Amino acid sequence: MARGNKSDRRRGKAPIKAEARRYSKLPREELDKIDYKNIALLQRFITERGKIRSRRVTGLSRRDQTKMARAVKRARELGLLPYVDSSRAVTTGGRSRGRD
């Protein structure tokens, strides 16, 4: 009595489905304008602290997120965007020990 491979059958489980394709939340016209000189658009994709927002937050596709991150990095290199928020004071976060 020959049986089929156990790996061929999935008892009581739904068939495996391919993941749905993700589409960008921005209109195609704006995505075509992703450029390091377009500061107003790039500021929508960075946080107040200067971090680049993730794909999960921005809703961009992988390709568009890569374009956007590259544009942000170029704008930072040229001084059009800051690396960090300069209005916040730099703190070490540790306890201060007084040397009395």
User: Per-domain residue ranges for the chain?
Assistant: 24-78
- Whether pLDDT at 7 is above 60: no
CATH number for the region 24-78 comes to 4.10.640.10
Do 24 and 59 form a contact (C-beta atoms < 8 A)? yes
- Average of per-residue pLDDT values in the chain: 79
Q: What is the pLDDT of residues 12-59, one digit of tens each?
A: 776 677 666 666 677 777 778 889 999 999 999 999 999 999 999 988
Per-residue confidence (pLDDT) for residue 100, from 0 to 100: 54
Q: Model pTM greater than 0.85?
A: no
SS (H, E, C) 20-88: CCCCCCCCHHHHHCCCCCCHHHHHHHECCCCCECCHHHHCCCHHHHHHHHHHHHHHHHHCCCCCCCCCC
- Whether pLDDT at 1 is above 80: no
